[in-house]
Amino acid sequence: MDDSLSQRSARNDFQAMYSPLESLIRRQPITVSLEASVRQAIGVMDEKRIGAIIIATHDGKLPLGIFTLRDLLHRVSLPGASLDIPVAAVMTAGLITVKPQTTAYQAALIMGRRGLRHLLVVDEAGDLLGIVSQNDLFALQRTGLNEVTHDIREAKNLTALQNCARDIRRMAATLLGQGVAAEQLTHLISTLGDLLTLRVIELTHDEFELPQIKWCWVALGSEGRYEQTLFSDQDNGIIFQAADPDAARQQLLPFAESVNRKLDACGFPLCKGGIMAGNPAWCLSLDEWRRKFAAWIQTPEPAALLNASIFFDFRPLYGDEELSDDLRGWLLDATGKASLFLRLMAENALQCTPPLGLIRDFTYDGNKAFPHTLDLKMHGARPFVDAARIFSLAHGVATTGTAQRLRGVADAAGLGAGVEAIIDGFYFIQQLRMRHQHGLRGGDAGGANRVDPDTLNELDRHILKAAFKQARKLQDKLRLDYRI
């Protein structure tokens, strides 16, 4: 296979893995009720030629369990159970469900992490839409991506993981050069980074005697939003539940510090602000996180508003995810009632304006180290990110990605059909950031987000100006909503 054909194949593999699960559902879900016998269930499975059947309510909308050929072997045939017992007695309950917008790659990550062979796809109301199998996802992976993910899962030491991290960066650079969209590319970087982090945690877990408690490693900041670029550092924390939080923390911290150091060795730099799980300030019990968040919401000083912009973008990565889900539910309830806090967050967000001039195309912030440049992170991406966060907190949207948040609040916040233009503006800026970062041969992280617009071609300058106008439009909506 020549290089161009191989590259096209890798790109197509990735674009397929980025597709939403709703596009993989080939048929209406096949269900039986709780009262059905095993004999009836396997009869339907044989008739429909399927390897798994969903046990649901009589209307077929609410999934209650799943029964597979594996269950038939291990729970019926080998124990010698009767085929006339209710299928409910031998089904697998405690289902893991995902939304239709979940990407195939996210689904593969969930399956791999939990050892699952099937995922149920449900809508926002929890009604069953379909089922996706491990084989459905494997059929999408053929070349480069499959090799990278396989190498990560099989890595046995830090050296192997460092090689995997280099492969991730090379693949991201290749796809960037091939014109893969920024939404897909940042998702790729973040998702493969997730997989590598999971493997680091798994290997490090075996090196320590950890307390027998519930705990969850969470991603924060850009990683928590699935928006990592080629120069993102690590932001993470731990949520745990223990009778003696101080004792549990002392046991978790050496493990967390080791994970942080290994991630640094793999090319995910230590956070200069110390926002990492190995810092005692961010290795907290669920109650401690609630108290800390409550203090920020009730006393929204500048430092609290800054912390909220990082820590409120958390999502679970490893461990007992219900701890993260509980904290997210509590946070949305608390912020939905905190009108003063949201208003102050909006005021803070509006201080960071897009660099648009009244006469000239762009304005500059006078940075001496990088004169005549635009900060595409601070004044480009951040206005979108901050506004999306505020709208999502105000309207109870649980997702953390900027685009997902904006789509989730489009109707409630009055953004309507114009939300897609706003999202396109955000991702053009992200694409420009990564193109610039890829061109920094010397690895100059200080200028990783700064671009001289004079170096851009006429079309890119025009689109960048239009993207900044979309950011201004989003900020105008904040001003209107919060009367600022």
- pLDDT interval class at 14 (50, 70, 90): low
**DSSP-derived 3-state class of residue 374:** strand
Q: How confident is the model at residue 1 (pLDDT cuts 50, 70, 90)?
A: very low
Q: Which residues pair with 216 in a beta bridge?
A: 239, 319
Q: Which of 278, 206, 291 is nearest to 237 (CA)?
A: 278
Quote the CA–CA distance of 160 and 164 in Å, as a whole number. 6
Task: Report pLDDT digits (tens) over 432-457.
Answer: 999 898 877 545 567 889 999 999 99
- pLDDT (tens digit per residue) in 42-85: 999 999 888 899 999 988 889 999 999 989 989 999 899 999 99
Q: Residue written as tokens 């890798």?
A: 10
When pLDDT is averaged across residues 22-37 and rounded to a whole number, the result is 85
pLDDT at 475: 96
Placement of tokens 């050496």 in the chain: 254
**Average per-residue pLDDT for the chain:** 88
8 A C-beta contact, residue 276 and residue 310: no
Cβ–Cβ < 8 Å for 461, 451: no
Question: pTM for the whole thing?
Answer: 0.77
The closest alpha carbon to 245, from 274, 214, 272, 269, belongs to: 214
**For the purposes of burial, counting CB atoms within 10 Å of the CB of 196, is it exposed (0-12), middle (13-18) or buried (19 or more)?**
buried
pLDDT, tens digit (0-9, with 9 covering 90-100), for 341-379: 999 999 999 999 999 987 678 999 889 999 999 999 999
Q: What is the pLDDT of residue 18?
A: 65
Helix (H) or strand (E) holding 97: strand 97-98
Residue 272 has pLDDT above 70, yes or no: yes
pLDDT at 180: 78
Q: Which residues make Cβ contacts (< 8 Å) with residue 332, sequence separation at least 6?
A: 393, 396, 397, 398
Residue 13 confidence class, pLDDT cut points 50, 70, 90: low
Residue 5: per-residue pLDDT? 45
Cross-sheet strand order for the sheet of 97-98: 97-98, 118-122, 128-133
143 — pLDDT class (breaks 50, 70, 90): very low
Query: What is the spatial distance between Cα 298 and Cα 344, in angstroms, rounded to a whole number?
Result: 11
Q: How many angstroms separate the CA atoms of 470 and 204, rounded? A: 44
